[in-house]
Chains A and B, each alone.
Chain A
Amino acid sequence: MEDLGKIHQLIIPFFGHDITLNVEVIVMTWIVFFALLCFGFFATQKKSRLPGPLQVVGELFVEHLYALTEDALGKELSKTYAPLICALFMFLLLSNWLGIIPHLEEPTKDLNTPLSLGIMGFAIAHYAGIKAKGLKTYLKDYCEPMFIMAPLNIIGELAKVISISFRLFGNIMGGAIIILVVSYLTYNIITPPFLNAFFGMFVGTIQAFVFTMLTVVYIAVQVN
């Protein structure tokens, strides 16, 4: 039970400041990167009209996520943002599934991963908004419906980052804690595979999709 909330950290002193690295999260993130790179490499290796199994999976991802982006952003913008959305979804999906394998942990279990992805989405959405509307209209939108509402609108925008990243973090970390505690209470008999299937595969897939879709929607709201 001592594992609850324990993080493996590497603390490097740097000119009077301590730089803290969450080693485990970094290693797990690199495992996900490597797996995705391998997938991308082998899926596009032998392109043919009769697709192999990997090519089918790749086409499935690309086709559905491009359609999703196109629905929300329109044809023009989706060309720019669809690759990002595909990459985001595949990264999150694999990250959330990683915990099923013993001794590996989900990188999304650490708040740093969802929060940085959330901030990335926030920055991209606002960049897209400024680019589409121009800086003047973009700034004017904050003063809707009245000038006094501007601080609250800004807090509302910042709250989006908190909600999108804590939603993913809370679900994945919550699942991991529940698996840990229940396995401890039942002495690891029978229940862990079912819990892993539910929290890892099922909830993980839903949350990866929700995160991706919210990122698309945030961009769409800024652009329109």
Chain B
Amino acid sequence: MAYDIQTWVNVAAFTGGGMAMGFGAIGAAIGEGFTAACANEAIGRNPKLSGDIFKSMLVGQAIAESASIFALVIAMMLLFTKFPAHTLTPYVLIAAGLCMGFGAIGSGVGSGFPAGAACKGMARQPGVTGRLTTNMLIGSAVCQTPAIFALVVSFILLFTDFSMHPVSPTWAAILGAGISSGLGAIGSGLGGGLVAEASCDGISRQPLTATPVTNVMLLGQAVTQTTAIYALLVSFILMFKSFPTTDLLAPPMALLSAGLCMGIGAIGPAIGEGFAGRSAVAWIARNQEHIAALTRVMLVGQAVAESTGIYSLVIALVLIFVV
């Protein structure tokens, strides 16, 4: 039984919306639960501060939730917007849904870490509440960056007119673009969260090192996001490069695998870089005479951990431009 295009567009919109919110719900919930657990621990240690800790927990959870809210926005748009009936539209809708769904996982979990560490830190060192909150806000906001990249790719997919492009390789390019940015955001969100957690913990242990700790945290998080940026780059190339029409199956598959390659390849390096950043930041707070050496070792270690991400980028580019 053959269905017309409009039916397929509706099917894709519902599937995409469901996947966006379904996957998007994973991360934020885990992160928020972690924050709440830390807040309970903190109140148990220092019940006098329960008001402040409760407030800080709610603020931290609100930031962690924003990744899921992005997914909700995309899901709502997929469900309630009327899309043009074109052969490529179903692929666009599924790609947008997958992109935002996957993209919300890492940032949601990651943002929960600094919020939890900030709650525990307040119980340990009530005097630095203000500084801890500022640091937590900056750290969690930077954790959201990969999710924002995924949201941007989803928006561009939904609002760009692909009807001029040839159907045959473009469908794979669109799917690849969505998957690349979506999967690529998972690791960076998580890794950035690990670095930010260590910085909140460090500030509460040694409030005097607050400024260098925040600086190195930003540096560590920035490097952690590098692989998500490679994934964004691959998505942009896949979306905006014009590919020649083809009847063969191999060229579209190469584009789809380019997206998969960069997306999956970005997860591991980012988490690894997060570990490197976490312990560097944690030890800067404990041993402030050796900030320069710790930062240098962190950067070199992160660069080595990132090399596998660069291999993925090279293979993805080869798949797009050479094969």
Give the interface of A toward B (CB within 8 A): 1, 4-5, 68, 71-72, 152, 155-156, 159, 162-163, 166-167, 170-171, 173-175, 177-178, 181-182, 185, 198, 202-203, 206, 209-210, 213-214, 217, 220-221, 224
Contacts and interface: CB of A to CB of B under 8 A. Distances in A.
Contacts of B159: 1, 4, 181
Interface string B206-225: 00000010010011001001
B23 interface: no
Contacts of B310: 152, 155-156, 159
A210 B295 CA distance: 14
A203 to B, nearest CB: 7
A177 B219 contact: no
Contacts of A175: 148
Given A4-B156, A213-B218, A171 B145 contact: yes
A177 B155 contact: yes
Contacts of B212: 71
A167 B229 contact: yes
Contact of B218 (A72, A173, A209, A221): A209
26 contacts: A1-B159, A71-B212, A72-B292, A72-B295, A152-B311, A156-B303, A159-B226, A159-B230, A159-B310, A166-B229, A170-B152, A170-B229, A171-B148, A173-B152, A177-B156, A178-B151, A178-B152, A178-B155, A206-B141, A213-B215, A213-B219, A217-B295, A217-B299, A220-B296, A221-B299, A224-B296
Contacts of B151: 174, 178
Nearest to A181: B155
Nearest to A180: B155
Interface SS of chain B: helix
Contacts of A155: 310, 314
B313 A159 contact: yes
Contact of B215 (A68, A162, A182): A68
A170 B142 CA distance: 13
A221 B296 contact: yes
Contacts of A162: 229-230, 233
A214 B219 contact: yes
Interface in B271-323: 291-292, 295-296, 299-300, 303, 306-307, 310-311, 313-314
Query: Ordered nearest first, which 6 A-B pairs have the shortest CB separation?
Result: A174-B152, A163-B226, A210-B222, A166-B229, A174-B148, A163-B229
A177 to B, nearest CB: 5
Interface core residue of A4, A163, A220 (most chain B CB under 10 Å): A163
B189 to A, nearest CB: 14
B187 to A, nearest CB: 14
Contacts of B313: 159
A206 B230 contact: no
Contacts of A156: 303, 306-307, 310
B16 to A, nearest CB: 17
Interface in B95-118: none
